[in-house]
Amino acid sequence: MKELITEKRIGVIAGGVSAEREVSLKSGNAVFDALKGRGYDAVFIDASETLCETLGKEGIEIAFLALHGGWGEDGSVQGMLEVMGMPYTGSGVLASALAMDKEASKKIFQHHGLNVPPYIIVGSGYRSSEAEEDINISPPFPAPWVVKPSREGSSVGVNIINTHEELKEAIKEALAYGSRVVVESFIEGREVHAGVLGESVLGGVEVRPGRSFYDYDSKYTPD
């Protein structure tokens, strides 16, 4: 007879070191409280460089990933758990890595014939630490432009801008979150989110933010 999940020790992994740490901690605590309230043997774990060791010390048998951003959404932690032979929630290594990397995912979409907004990539030749660096970028498509880090989530470092001067500043800001930046054409339209679990669609919700777009504050601030 298979052992019930309630009899296994579940590690709720949250926090970490990404720009989305605070949001991850809130997600993790909500999951932890829900599991404990339903009788599961759950342990809250704030992810750090000693995560592998911590999982062993705590006797974790299943990982519930509540990490946001790097490590937990880019396939890094998933790869570690695969090596450890520990089951975990969410997508696997490859799906996580591709979904987190906007440049890579765009190329996959294009390969399969899907339309994506026109875009260019500002590469690692630019460094955010050089605040006065002259970033001369002229996208081959008209403004407005969306500027975003290639490997961040929760709209961290995202700006919608209209002028070349704003473009330089937006690129500098985005470079603070990684070495590659996506500059793409802004496409105006309705935004609809649909959850998918396996092959089941969980329904759709139209997003109507009170701000100029669905930014970090719109996602995580009440009202």
Which range marks the domain in which residue 82 is found?
Answer: 7-99
Residue 133 has pLDDT above 70, yes or no: no
In a shared domain, residues 213 and 181: no
Query: How do residues 14-69 score in pLDDT, each as one tens digit?
Result: 998 888 899 999 999 999 999 999 999 999 999 999 999 999 999 999 999 999 98
Contact in structure between 66 and 28 (CB atoms under 8 Å):
yes
In a shared domain, residues 88 and 156: no
pTM across the whole model:
0.82
What is the four-CA torsion angle of 25, 28, 32, 33, rounded to 10 degrees? 60
Q: What is the CATH number of the domain that holds 50?
A: 3.40.50.20
In a shared domain, residues 123 and 174: yes
3-class DSSP state of 25: helix
In a shared domain, residues 181 and 118: yes
In a shared domain, residues 61 and 24: yes
Residue for token digits 């704030």? 46
* Cα distance between residue 47 and residue 125, in whole Å: 31
Last residue of a domain, one of 77, 99, 121: 99
The reply to whether 1 falls in a domain is no
Number of domains in the chain: 3
Positive or negative, the CA dihedral 79, 80, 83, 84 is negative
In a shared domain, residues 175 and 203: no
Q: Give the pLDDT confidence score for residue 100 in this predicted structure.
A: 92
Last residue of a domain, one of 45, 76, 99: 99
In a shared domain, residues 105 and 165: yes
| Residue type (1 letter), 81 | L
Spatial CA neighbour of 10 closest among 92, 90, 88: 88
Spatial CA neighbour of 100 closest among 67, 125, 129: 67
Query: How do residues 64-80 score in pLDDT, each as one tens digit?
Result: 999 998 888 899 999 99
* Cα distance between residue 197 and residue 90, in whole Å: 9
User: How is residue 131 written in tokens?
Assistant: 């605040």
* Cα distance between residue 169 and residue 182, in whole Å: 14
In a shared domain, residues 107 and 71: no
Q: How confident is the model at residue 114 (pLDDT cuts 50, 70, 90)?
A: very high
41-47 and 62-65 as β-strands: parallel, antiparallel, unpaired? unpaired
The reply to whether 2 falls in a domain is no
Query: How do residues 175-195 score in pLDDT, each as one tens digit?
Result: 988 889 999 999 999 999 999
* Cα distance between residue 172 and residue 192, in whole Å: 30
Indicate the average pLDDT of the chain. Answer: 89
